[in-house]
Amino acid sequence: MTHRRSIRNLPYHIMLLPAMVIVLIYCYVPMIGVLMAFEDYKPGKGFMGFFTSPWVGFKHYMYFFNLDATGQILFNTVYISLMKMVLGIIVPVFVAILLNELKSVWFKRTMQTFVYLPNFMSWVVLAGIMVDILSPSDGIVNRVIKAMTGHTVPFLMNSAVFPYTLVGSDVWQRFGFLTIVYIAAITGIDPTLYEAAKIDGAGYIKQMWHITLPGMMSIIVLMSLLSLGNLLNAGFEQVLNLINPAVQSTGEIIDTYVYKLGILDARYSLATAVGLFKSVVSVILISLSYWLAYRFADYRIF
């Protein structure tokens, strides 16, 4: 049985071969740089510096975990990421159910296109849009808030509000794509179940609660489990383009901290150590998420 499955899956593995070669060249070969995490790397020595720089073992890890800012950075990363994961499930499911109830096919497709558009934009563009619409002086959001409350909210300058601004803008960018995934799950539900529910007198709310949501549950569980591997990925591009010194205490995450250490401060060994720590934890979480997905959602790659 296993031999037959291997033969049946052979074309898929052949299709993966070009991508695997690219990953090998551009991802695995550069992993020799991981050596920097355990040595005082000397950039002036070039490639041979990987092998001739002084070996220091876990010195950089001890330094990182003894920093006063480390705990806050880890908390920020996990906190922001968890909020993105939770709302990244709730909002698309809610919108998918609403779109599914629309009777006009033209209007439904128009709304799908409208909510999907931000997914095609980079955070360089979206960050500029966020700065404009959230501006305390002339941003459209603060104009509405001021008209209702008499004051404005500095979304990008208030450290208490900034994490929620990150989460809200991230959900705005990504929920359109996930909505399409859940709409596809809804279309797979047997229509006769809705007909039987209508005959029994069930309204839209009861149909949603007893038919739509249970029919989507396998996809919801699967997407939730797979997102577990991104627990330490709080959104590098987004945070890098929106963060500023006023909100650094609550907005700094592991990825931006590594960027500052490695690129701005040229502390390559320390940056590599912190990045390797994040990678190891992420590999463990991804492996756990795939095991849970297989265990509870019967998901496998092939």
| Segment 95-99 mean pLDDT | 87
**Superfamily for domain range 69-297:** MetI-like (1.10.3720.10)
Helices 213-227 & 162-187, crossing angle to 10 degrees? 130
Give the start-to-end residue ranges of the domains of the chain: 21-57, 69-297
Q: Which of 120-124, 203-207, 241-245 has the lowest mean pLDDT?
A: 203-207
Please report the pLDDT score of residue 2 as a whole number. Answer: 60
Q: Measure the CA–CA gap between 34 and 272, rounded to whole angstroms.
A: 7
Which segment, 7-11, 188-192, 240-244, is predicted with the most confidence on average?
240-244
Per-residue pLDDT tens over the stretch 270-282:
888 998 898 888 8
Tracing tokens 């979480």 back to the chain, one arrives at 285
How is residue 212 annotated by DSSP?
A: I
Q: Measure the CA–CA gap between 293 and 298, rounded to whole angstroms.
A: 6
Please report the pLDDT score of residue 3 as a whole number. Answer: 64
Q: Measure the CA–CA gap between 241 and 239, rounded to whole angstroms.
A: 5
Per-residue pLDDT tens over the stretch 68-79:
888 999 999 999
